[in-house]
Structure 1
Amino acid sequence: MSESVTVTLTQKDNYQFVVDFGDALPTLLADEPPPLGEGTGPAPTHMLLAAVANCLSASLLFSLRKFKQDPGQLTATATCDIGRNAENRLRVLGIRVEMTLAKPADSMEHLDRILTQFEAFCTVSQSVQAGVPVSIGVTDGLGQRLR
């Protein structure tokens, strides 16, 4: 089974683009940071990080709910390192995603199994990881490092 997803970008001004997701979803104004753009909206790297973190969060929540577990509010923070490649061009060198469950680990069953499999459900991170390393950390509501 294959699916097609389309977004349309239309230049508004300079490096600002209106991102149209279609289907009555709100548009988004994207912009490059200075000195190219004005930084009036998320840059492409922000959108990449948001896509990876959102997909991983949804995958973790899906896996938790599959086992009828409630993690409380889930939080994810994504960070990327940007540097130059051999041709001196800027590239995303790596992405780190830190996820936090609101509840303590000992209040959830099957957590070891969930944490070993949820990443495989994430379409975006699995696709991005083919070209950019993605590392993932998970912490519970008490600050205990789970992964």
Structure 2
Amino acid sequence: MMDEANNVTLVLREAYRFAVDFGQPGAAMLLTDVKPPLGTGAGPDSEQLLVAAVANCLSSSLLFSLRKFRNEAVPMRTTADAALSRNAQGRLRVAGIEVAIQLGVPASTLRQLDRALAQFEDFCVVTQSVRAAIPVAVRVLDDSGALLTA
């Protein structure tokens, strides 16, 4: 039984290109496409959307955790990569996702950073759901590139 619904509607435009409507007033529609040779790569593909969802959720969750401890203005930049591999049947699958979140400030300027880092991943609905099937590795770095988590 679902507690909350998150509806998305896809409409085929041409070839493998879909218009994605998130059903929210004012939200932009998204155009997806698969990479050549099937599609033209005119938009993100399913794998990229999955990786973006994980990276976005982790970034938002870290921001939420930092703000809980009165760290209001914390710029960040997140990069994420997916490793693809073939299963026993030769089908391509997402084998793992690596996410790196770089904060735009020195760690020493943040209040209760250890507490925020210890809990932010638990707030991330998408990552914790995906982790049931796909390993997700997360690193957080400060503005100098010093590793704060591993």
TM-score band w.r.t. shorter chain: over 0.9
TM normalised by structure 2 equals 0.95
Structure 2: runs of 5 or more not aligned? none
Q: CA RMSD in A?
A: 1.1
For 1:54 and 1:71, locate their aligned partners in 2 and report how far apart those are by CA, in whole Å: 18
**For 1:30-52, what per-residue CA distance to the aligned partner results, in whole angstroms no more than 9, with x for missing partners?**
00000110000000111111110
**For 1:4-47, what per-residue CA distance to the aligned partner results, in whole angstroms no more than 9, with x for missing partners?**
01101111101101111112221111000001100000001111
Question: In 2 relative to 1, CA 9–40 (structure 1 residues): closer, same or farther, beyond 3 Å?
Answer: same
For 1:23 and 1:146, locate their aligned partners in 2 and report how far apart those are by CA, in whole Å: 36
TM normalised by structure 1 equals 0.97
Task: Determine which of 23, 48, 51 is the counterpart of 1:49.
Answer: 51
Q: CA deviation at 1:70?
A: 3.6
> Paired residue for 2:20?
19
Q: CA deviation at 1:102?
A: 0.3
Q: Percent identical across equivalent pairs? A: 50
Q: CA deviation at 1:56?
A: 0.4
Asked if structure 2 preserves the Cα contact closer than 8 Å seen for 1:95 and 1:135, the reply is yes
The number of equivalent residue pairs is 147
Which moved further from structure 2: 18-27 or 31-40?
Answer: 18-27
Runs of 4+ in 1 over 2 A off after TM superposition: none
Equivalent residues in 2 for 1:57-76 (5 A)?
57-70=59-72, 72-76=74-78
